[in-house]
Structure 1
């Protein structure tokens, strides 16, 4: 199944917030508070052109947030609607993030996730990311990872 990410628009805001809520709410009990992505200002990310979405049958099913940094692109968030999980959409969004990173002139993509999100850490490792460090920031235990792009 082919998915083509497009820049999010203000009309996508509600769907984006719902996807994020569903994707991250299971981690609240593990972490003891809402994960960072649940607190982000998605209207501002949309306005800044940092958020891309994928639609299927006219409904937003997934999203990716990319933020240019000094020397690397930050993969700030990737999330998939529950109905689209297991369809390959998450991997498609990760491939899109890598393509957008290369198109922006970077050869590395970085991310961080909470150490309690063990499934995400394993997924990123399987897709070529390497752990670079673990730190506590803003009261959260974060795992930083990087992928050098060919």
Structure 2
């Protein structure tokens, strides 16, 4: 693998985005009984909208980030299985925060399937707190958030005052 710098995806990256996403999430199908939403995402549209960020050349890691009014939604993080253990996932998660802070967003939110037990250990190690478990259609999900530091001299907004919903 060459450079692991996280960068915005370009249209030429779409095949790599799809390949990494499919490889990273494929094992979830047997465990959960459903195709993970990231595998069915419109990768071309998400890249064109500036929501996709990649690491590696060729692509070895993928992020899909959706800015909302009061948080940054981490829609997907995927690392190709061949790149596991090389720090790609850590760099991607660090990038999420670096992306949210200049946008002035006070927190990052994400969800993961309740049957993906390894994620329930992973996200708390990176400072995410479990907020709730919610069934949405065929998806049984744990919802997490990570509050980010306020810019110097500002009080952080109280996200609880607006509710936790996506």
Q: Name the SS of the counterpart of 1:3 in structure 2.
A: coil
Take 2:7 and 2:36, find their aligned partners in 1: how far apart are those partners? 25
Take 1:33 and 1:80, find their aligned partners in 2: how far apart are those partners? 20
Equivalences, count: 148
Cα-Cα RMSD: 1.3
Take 2:10 and 2:120, find their aligned partners in 1: how far apart are those partners? 30
Please give the per-residue CA displacement for 1:100-145, whole angstroms capped at 9, x wherever unaligned: 0101111200001110111112100111100000010022101100
- For 1:80, the equivalent position in structure 2 comes to 79
Take 1:70 and 1:119, find their aligned partners in 2: how far apart are those partners? 30
Shift of the alpha carbon at 1:16? 0.8
Q: Which residues of 2 match residues 122-133 of structure 1 at below 5 A?
A: 122-133=121-132
Structure with bigger gyration radius: 2
Q: Which runs of 5+ in 1 are unaligned?
A: none
Take 1:2 and 1:132, find their aligned partners in 2: how far apart are those partners? 35
Q: Which residues of 2 match residues 1-150 of structure 1 at below 5 A?
A: 3-55=4-56, 58-150=57-149
Runs of 4+ in 1 over 2 A off after TM superposition: none
Q: Which runs of 5+ in 2 are unaligned?
A: 150-166
Name the one with the larger strand percent.
Answer: 1
Q: Name the SS of the counterpart of 2:5 in structure 1.
A: coil
